[in-house]
Structure 1
Amino acid sequence: MTTKKQAVLLIVVAGLVAAAGYAVWKSRGQGDEFVVSGVIEADDIHVGSKVGGRVMKVVAREGQSVKAGDVLVLLEPDEPKASLSESQASLRQAEARLTELQAGYRREEIDQAKADWLAAKAQHGNAEKLRQRMKDLVERQLIAPQEYDDARTKAEETEQRTMSARERYDLLLAGTRQEEIAQARAGVEAARARVRLLKTQLDETVVRSPVNAVVEVLDLEPGDMVGAGKPVATLLRTTSLWVRAYLPEKRLGHVQPGLTVRIRVDSFPRKDFSGTVRRIHRQAEFTPRNVQTTEERVLQVFQTEVIIDDPEKILRPGMNADVFIKKSEQ
């Protein structure tokens, strides 16, 4: 073998050794670390409307980045608007009635009620006198019985009007009762609560994003019906990415929530990301088939969630990630 061929062979062997060393380092970490693998995920949020209705306009689209408060879907607002207008009118009436009762009755109203009562009393007196005359005449058979019946009916009617007028006069003279004011006040509060409810329902015809996110699913067209409380869109909360990894049972003692770790992804192999363990599931399971080697798939593991610090916003859900964890003294 020539010297040149030997040199090339040495370079190839050195490259293979370096690659193998990197693979071992990547898969097992440095001497004081071990590694668990997983996939980057984002929390999904199902957004909907409390009232539902018919879709008027679809504003956002799948794959679009949205900010908190951005409009996703508009529902037809006609029915909630009409109900709100009706309730606002009822509220104004209730408030006017309460104001009137709290102010009490005016002197003019009391005087008018007294005049109405005295007039009704006079009419009843005249009607009663006529009834008496008609009674005498019918007993002497000078008039038909029907004429007496008419006079008696009129006397009874004027008596009822006199009693009603006197009751109203006495009521105004006594003033407003506290029970009436309390009842009117309760009516106002009920009307206000109804208006608040309908305003909320009208607001629900505008479906907004509650957080900064990416629209993952939004399959609607104008005219579609949306059920009350049913999701109209699924959002991915990309501002708080995390890794779903699987911690071997023998490594459980090295990890606890709040632990700081470092993370690497295949897309940026030379860049370290900081992470914090958020949760370790209490229930053990077998390693999922899409994680690690065939031998490791039969191990008992604990699902672990690690929040990633990604200030540059360069990571994406679905990326493979390796979580490097320092070994603690046992």
Structure 2
Amino acid sequence: MTDQTKDASQTQPSSGQIPPRKSGKLWLIIGCILVICAGFGGFRLWHYFEHKNDLPPHIEGSNGRLEMTRFDVAAKYAGRITDLSFHEGDVVQTGQILAHQDDSELRAQRDAAQANFEQAQESVRRAEAEQAAAHASTGLAAQQLMHTKQMVAQSLVSDMELQNSQTAYTTRKLSEEASQHNVAAAKEAVKAASAQIAGLDANLAEMTIRAPTSGQIEYRIAEKGSVLGQGGRLASLLDPSDIYLTVFFESAVAGKLHVGDEARIKLDAMNDRLVPAQISFVSPEAQFTPKFVETKTEREKLVYRVKLRIMPDTVHRLGGVLKAGMTGIGYVRTEPSAQWPSLKSDRG
């Protein structure tokens, strides 16, 4: 009796265990699910790589980033920054004041130049007075000489008197000519002092640093109190009206492109439209693809740099949507009759 009970207990599955037949079915189901998932995932991956580069005939695409023309805001002369009136991201206009430099030394030089100018003007007035006196003296000497000649003709005075009158006239005449030279020299000194003042005024104006063009501040490089050397950079400024995408194509494509040809740009942030552009530059020299290109294989290729410029009217129409650094794909045509990819084109 005990042996039968023991045998029976051994044939019964313990609580919580799955019978072998049911366990096999479960693993079969799980395996089928994994196979289906793997197959579906593989199909999607194959489909992605098979069709991601599908483009109409004679259309070529290349990855790139939007760039804007950059200007350096720099100090023309060395000096300490006394104040700044801008921050990164600010939109500024041409000629807008961005900063001031310490100009105390230049102002002292300007004050000294002003004093020299006034002194030179006084010298002109004094020289002109001396010239007038010399001219009057010469006139008297000329009259005396004429009178002496008349008296000599009448034998009223000796020839010695005539010689003395002639010498006096000559001396007065030379003195008058010297005074004329003094007046001219004094006037030249006034001009030089005036030019020095104008130069210092121009230098003082340069101590007020202004925006060279309208645009947006990209980086603020210096701070209040910083000492900039001659030509030292204060900030970098982006021109939002001059935007382009730099792309790279192999020789077979680049050789068929011309400056002025139409192009299209699809930005990752605007994936439902193509932005019209124009080829503005095709490099005449081949280079290795830059490091920011995703794969090493791509970087090992010799390619030509091409710029696709977005026209200012398109930039204006998009209303500030475009920003430097935005990634996208630039499309070009190797045949003028080729059709662009079937995305919405942003032409207004």
Both proteins in one fold, TM over 0.5: yes
| Counterparts of residues 191-210 of structure 1 (less than 5 Å) | 191-210=193-212
In 1, the alpha carbon distance for the partners of 2:187 and 2:55 equals 72
Partner deviation per Cα, 1:74-133 (whole Å, 9 max, x = no partner): 11222222222221232233345346656773359967xx9xxxxxxxxxxxxxxxxxxx
Residues 1:273 and 2:275 are matched in the alignment? yes
Structure 1 pair 243/178, CA: closer, same or farther in 2 (3 Å)? farther
- The residue type equivalent to 2:96 in the other structure is D
- Kindly indicate whether the alpha-carbon contact (under 8 Å) linking 1:212 and 1:239 is maintained by their aligned counterparts in 2: no
Residue equivalent to 2:189: 187
Partner SS state of residue 254, structure 1: coil
Q: Which protein has the larger Cα radius of gyration, Structure 1 or Structure 2?
A: 2
In 2, the alpha carbon distance for the partners of 1:174 and 1:109 equals 6
In 1, the alpha carbon distance for the partners of 2:299 and 2:123 equals 76
Select 2:324's aligned residue among 306, 311, 317: 317
In 2, the alpha carbon distance for the partners of 1:316 and 1:229 equals 28
Structure 2: any 5+ residue segments left out of the alignment? 1-39, 141-167, 337-348
Residue equivalent to 1:256: 258
| Counterparts of residues 151-190 of structure 1 (less than 5 Å) | 170=172, 174-176=176-178, 178-190=180-192
Same amino acid, percent of matched pairs: 22
Residues 1:44 and 2:51 are matched in the alignment? no
In 2, the alpha carbon distance for the partners of 1:267 and 1:273 equals 12
How many Å apart are 1:178 and its aligned residue?
5.0
In 2, the alpha carbon distance for the partners of 1:172 and 1:60 equals 65
In 1, the alpha carbon distance for the partners of 2:119 and 2:65 equals 61
In 2, the alpha carbon distance for the partners of 1:65 and 1:78 equals 30
In 2, the alpha carbon distance for the partners of 1:249 and 1:28 equals 20
Structure 1 pair 264/23, CA: closer, same or farther in 2 (3 Å)? farther
Select 2:299's aligned residue among 291, 297, 300: 297
In 1, the alpha carbon distance for the partners of 2:133 and 2:239 equals 68
- Kindly indicate whether the alpha-carbon contact (under 8 Å) linking 2:221 and 2:233 is maintained by their aligned counterparts in 1: no
Higher relative contact order (CA 8 A, sep 6+): 1
| Counterparts of residues 143-158 of structure 1 (less than 5 Å) | none
The total of aligned residue pairs comes to 261
Which TM-score applies when normalising by structure 2? 0.64
- Kindly indicate whether the alpha-carbon contact (under 8 Å) linking 2:263 and 2:332 is maintained by their aligned counterparts in 1: yes
How many Å apart are 1:293 and its aligned residue?
5.3
- Kindly indicate whether the alpha-carbon contact (under 8 Å) linking 2:62 and 2:330 is maintained by their aligned counterparts in 1: yes
Residue equivalent to 1:239: 241
Partner SS state of residue 281, structure 1: strand
Which TM-score applies when normalising by structure 1? 0.68
- The residue type equivalent to 1:220 in the other structure is A
In 2, the alpha carbon distance for the partners of 1:211 and 1:181 equals 47
- Kindly indicate whether the alpha-carbon contact (under 8 Å) linking 2:284 and 2:304 is maintained by their aligned counterparts in 1: yes
Moved more, 201-210 or 276-285: 276-285
Residues 1:92 and 2:118 are matched in the alignment? yes
In 2, the alpha carbon distance for the partners of 1:23 and 1:199 equals 66
- Kindly indicate whether the alpha-carbon contact (under 8 Å) linking 2:134 and 2:179 is maintained by their aligned counterparts in 1: no
Select 1:79's aligned residue among 102, 105, 109: 105
Structure 1: any 5+ residue segments left out of the alignment? 1-11, 115-165
Partner SS state of residue 87, structure 2: coil
How many Å apart are 1:176 and its aligned residue?
4.9
Structure 1 pair 223/327, CA: closer, same or farther in 2 (3 Å)? closer
How many Å apart are 1:275 and its aligned residue?
1.5
- Kindly indicate whether the alpha-carbon contact (under 8 Å) linking 1:58 and 1:220 is maintained by their aligned counterparts in 2: no
Moved more, 97-106 or 178-187: 97-106
